[in-house]
Structure 1
Amino acid sequence: MRSLALVVGAGALILGSAAILRGPLGDAAAQPASDPAAEAKFLEYTRYPVPAGETGKFQLNVDFPKTRPAARAMPWDAIDFRQQPEAYLRSVLDYCLADAEGRDFQFGGSTKWYHAPWLAREPIRGLTNERGSVVGELAVGHGGASNVAVGYYNDLGAWAFSKVWANRGNPQPAAVDFPVGSVSCKLLFTDADPAQVTYLKGSLEWRAAPRGTAKTVRLLQLDVGVRDARANAMTGWLFGTFMYLGDPQAPRPFAFKNLTPVGLMWGNDPDLGPIKVKTGAKPVEGWMNPVVVEHYRAIRSQTPGLGTDLGLFGRVNGPVDNPRSGCLACHGRALDGGPDWTSAERSRQLPFVPPNFNAANPTAQEDSAVRRFFRNLKPNEPFLAGKQSLDYSLQLAVGLENYHAWRQQARVMLAPQRASDFKAVRERNWIDVVPDAEEPKRGDAPAEARERRR
């Protein structure tokens, strides 16, 4: 790997040459057709070496299709997702595992599965840091956990990355194009102790080195996303989730076919705000597995103020996801804010959850704000007006933000305007899928619970 890395937190940039910049501030529009430094950064995925004594090294596959893959029938096309959500989910899971499982989820040289570039990964499995599980979320009395994940896209989904990153030194977010049939799959692992989170006993174990420290992590959740034209009236996408729900009394050898479906959603239920919920209304644009619902209701009811639903008001969500949101709503925030959008601005303008509300007596204004967060956005409709939609791909969004941060670093080093420029750049350096500032850490008090107690 070439030495063109950011020195995180130091405000320094190591570059082979300043010749990568064109124009006084190195603006993206002026980037050359060939940019060796940008090419090297595009292929760089970690700042950590494989720890001593560990085997295996992640194989990044960003050799995206050069031509648009032909449209084709998909195995789930004949399944009505509203009437047969579990069958639909199983069909997508089987598709996601075909070839991938046999490769042990290493996709070097694959023409079927690809990764997102510009993500901050650990070196063994290419896992990114995800939202942490707070006290009481996974098991009664459990003190919290750190979670990591790796995602991949099929060739149709990778076409969108090919369009955006046709010039690796000058991405074009407006070129994003996820064809019908695009599929994403993400495996989420936790470092929770199975002695405490007993249903993890028997799950798939990987060695990984998040933030450079090697440890064993266990599969807890598996997410899928599908671009399906039958959902065009709402968002154009379906998002679904599985989990490992083992029997702590009789663990058996791990098999992906034994994963338990959590839920499938095809819309955000934008009319379901806190006022309507008080009348007894429930989500209708998704399906949740009642077995999983009851499992976590029994767990989370034991922590005062934590709430019992996986997603807000019963919307579809996974066990490691923020319970004040939902799968589609979270991904609907995927957009490109441009080169000058700082992480602090993004956090203010693009929160992970809707605004707080008084559950006992919500106002009309609070109700409207919640429903706005859960809009059914079209694939080309941005969450924030004036920004570029990235069609529900948070991995594409985070990658572009990391790219902008790198470019901004170079601009500041060449032409700093003020000392605060350096601080702004450091805030944006190598952003994880969930930025540190917004990630509940192991052992934290449940922030979501505090907000609910208003």
Structure 2
Amino acid sequence: MFIRRFCLGLGGALFALAAHAAAVDPFADHNGIVPARADYNGALFLLSYHYPSGLPAPAMPWRSAIHARQISVQNARYYVAALKDTVAKDMHELLQDYDSWDPDRRGWYNDPWLGAQREAIHGLSVAVASVEPALFPRSRLSKPFTTYTVTYYNKTAAQTLGKIWGTSAMSPIVDQASTQYAEGSITVKLAFTTADPSVWPAMEGALVWPAMVTANATTGQFDEPTLHGLRLMQVDVVVKDTQSAPRTGWVFATFVYDRDAREGANGIWDKMVPLGAQWGLDPQVNSAIDPDAPLRESWINPRAPRYAMETLGWGGRLSGPNDHGKNDISFVDDGTRRLVRSAGNTACLSCHGTSQWNANKQGMPSFILPLAPPVGGRGSPYLNSPAPGSVEWLRWFQNRPGNVPMDEGSIAGDFDLALTFRVLPAWQQAMTGNAHALQSLDASGKKIERVGAETE
């Protein structure tokens, strides 16, 4: 058994492992379930965790693209284009020359502690267990799909991973200083779908990555890991930039696959087109009162492919096909319980704004989607929600800098949702041997049935 001790320091919460009786590997590459070499003879995923420190501020061409002004609906497309160009060479190699991909050489890094969740070929983990066809009526999805993701941090961002995890990752430091990212920090999240063109025409010609899939809502397989081709659907590129986005300090840019886009020198990367960008949550706009009110802190590309427009979040705020921006919700309105299917109830920044850690509660006090305590179990299988537009609902739609938590008594995670939703719970579970509640949930709050060896 592990003995865990929480120590409160002047800067916040310091989590220290006092003793342990079994070996754990926070830097495990994957779950150990590898394909037969006769079926797949390429490179396997290797975790990149030699985090740098003391780096100078990087060049930030995205700022120059908008003439060092604040990002706005009018100039966001130039900002997003510059951000995409910045990572283009690395993404081209990662996506289309994986056998040559060397993340250490390229300066890209991963979170520790997620080995048990990662499949062996590309380090992908289940993001949303089942996305239903009802969300995509216009793009003719005929079967549900599961999404898989993997996240990379650039070397500027990886300095923060080093501050939190050190060299051993056994005793994370989570305080007001350690969780904050430097200007120019970038994370890239790749999102893949189990749906192929036969069930979703939007994926015709999309990049295919082989993966050892443990959950597949398209085929109905949720037991034995199987080699399966996943289609690249979405890429999120997120940057810390308090000059361009002073209210939150971050700009979220989402790119989606467009089968009609032209492929150029950067291959499939050229067919990933902007869905939009978000740098704030437009708290002054109550979209329950006026659903068509214009937004000033989300830009949506009017030329984005049809399927990506179907899953925008509350009031049209930015949310991609992988981002569970629409859900079936249950709420009480004037004493009457209402059940609404495919309701817009989140956005990129509203999810990531819940990134926080409370040592006393051993987790995140608020879920990533607006939730209310269930009343007698009513509302299932819908999400029990505050009434849209209510004071409680609007807690998820406020602009805060990354060092201000959503809930008092917590340490803010600077919009790094992976840290507080996945990585710290995985560390805590490994230390205690007890299942952590968040480890069984996907990003939409649904239960994940995980297959594979657990990190011990």
How far apart are 1:117 and its partner, in Å? 1.3
User: Aligned partners of 1:427 and 1:311: how far apart in 2?
Assistant: 28
Of residues 97, 106, 112, the one that matches 2:107 is: 112
How far apart are 1:94 and its partner, in Å? 2.0
1:209-288 equivalences under 5 Å are: 209-211=212-214, 212-247=225-260, 255-277=268-290, 280-288=292-300
Change (3 A) 1:436 1:330: closer
Q: In the alignment, what sits opposite 2:428?
A: 404
More helix as a share of residues = 1
Asked if the contact 1:159/1:177 (under 8 Å) is kept, the reply is: no
Change (3 A) 1:142 1:339: farther
Local SS of the residue matching 1:349: coil
Of residues 180, 185, 190, the one that matches 1:187 is: 190
Return the letter of the residue paired with 1:59. Answer: L
Change (3 A) 1:432 1:112: farther
Local SS of the residue matching 2:243: helix
Corresponding pairs, count: 381
Q: In the alignment, what sits opposite 1:448?
A: none
Asked if the contact 1:242/1:259 (under 8 Å) is kept, the reply is: yes
User: Aligned partners of 2:244 and 2:417: how far apart in 1?
Assistant: 19
User: Aligned partners of 1:440 and 1:27: how far apart in 2?
Assistant: 30
Q: TM-score, normalised by structure 2?
A: 0.75
Of residues 40, 53, 57, the one that matches 1:71 is: 57
Return the letter of the residue paired with 2:274. Answer: P
**Percent of counterpart pairs with the same letter?**
26
Asked if the contact 2:4/2:18 (under 8 Å) is kept, the reply is: no
Return the letter of the residue paired with 2:191. Answer: L
User: Aligned partners of 2:22 and 2:403: how far apart in 1?
Assistant: 31
Local SS of the residue matching 2:133: coil
1:85 aligns with 2:72: no
How far apart are 1:432 and its partner, in Å? 6.7
How far apart are 1:109 and its partner, in Å? 3.1
Local SS of the residue matching 1:146: strand
How far apart are 1:235 and its partner, in Å? 0.6
Q: In the alignment, what sits opposite 1:394?
A: 417
Superposed CA offset, 1:239-270 (max 9, x none) = 0101112149x999952112221000110111
Q: In the alignment, what sits opposite 1:316?
A: 318
User: Aligned partners of 2:322 and 2:184: how far apart in 1?
Assistant: 26
Q: TM-score, normalised by structure 1?
A: 0.75
How far apart are 1:125 and its partner, in Å? 0.3
Local SS of the residue matching 2:131: coil
Of residues 413, 431, 443, the one that matches 1:434 is: 443
Change (3 A) 1:225 1:36: farther
Local SS of the residue matching 1:395: helix
User: Aligned partners of 2:54 and 2:435: how far apart in 1?
Assistant: 37
Local SS of the residue matching 1:235: coil
How far apart are 1:426 and its partner, in Å? 3.0
Change (3 A) 1:349 1:293: same
Asked if the contact 1:339/1:405 (under 8 Å) is kept, the reply is: no
Of residues 373, 376, 384, the one that matches 2:407 is: 384
Local SS of the residue matching 1:78: helix
Q: In the alignment, what sits opposite 1:51?
A: 35
Asked if the contact 2:281/2:350 (under 8 Å) is kept, the reply is: yes
Change (3 A) 1:367 1:400: same
How far apart are 1:180 and its partner, in Å? 0.5
Asked if the contact 2:351/2:368 (under 8 Å) is kept, the reply is: no
Return the letter of the residue paired with 1:126. Answer: G
Structure 1 unaligned blocks of 5 or more: 1-17, 298-307, 357-362, 410-424, 442-454
Local SS of the residue matching 2:149: strand
Of residues 397, 405, 412, the one that matches 1:374 is: 397
User: Aligned partners of 2:158 and 2:370: how far apart in 1?
Assistant: 28
How far apart are 1:399 and its partner, in Å? 0.6
Superposed CA offset, 1:100-152 (max 9, x none) = 43254544533611111122211110001112321232432522101101110
How far apart are 1:98 and its partner, in Å? 2.5
More strand as a share of residues = 2
Asked if the contact 1:128/1:210 (under 8 Å) is kept, the reply is: no
How far apart are 1:232 and its partner, in Å? 4.8
Q: In the alignment, what sits opposite 1:414?
A: none
Change (3 A) 1:91 1:206: same
Structure 2 unaligned blocks of 5 or more: 8-14, 215-224, 326-344, 374-385, 451-456
Q: In the alignment, what sits opposite 1:123?
A: 120
How far apart are 1:277 and its partner, in Å? 1.6
Local SS of the residue matching 2:90: coil
Q: Which moved more, 1:253-262 or 1:426-435?
A: 426-435
Q: In the alignment, what sits opposite 1:147?
A: 147
